[in-house]
Amino acid sequence: MLVQWVCIGRIVFKDLPPADAIALSIEFARLADMCDITGTESSMAEHIEGIILSDAPLHKDSWGSRDHNANNYSITTQHIESVVLLPSGHPVRGVLAMAMVEGFFQFDNHRLQKQIQENSGFAVDILAAVKATSKTITRGEYSTHFKEPLSGVVVMLEST
d(CA 99, CA 67): 13
The pLDDT value given to residue 12: 67
Model-level pTM?
0.86
Tell whether the model's pLDDT for residue 8 goes beyond 60: no
Torsion of CA 154, 156, 110, 107, to 10 degrees: 170
3 state SS of 142:
coil
d(CA 157, CA 24): 33
pLDDT band at 9 (very low <50, low <70, confident <90, very high): low
Q: In this predicted model, which residue has the larger pLDDT, 46 or 158?
A: 46
Of the listed ranges 71-80, 100-109, 134-143, the one predicted with least confidence: 100-109
The tens digit of pLDDT for each residue in 55-95 reads: 876 666 667 677 778 888 899 999 999 999 999 999 999 99
Tell whether the model's pLDDT for residue 137 goes beyond 70: yes
d(CA 160, CA 23): 32
Number of H helices, E strands in the chain: 7, 3
The pLDDT value given to residue 160: 55
- Share the mean pLDDT of the chain: 86
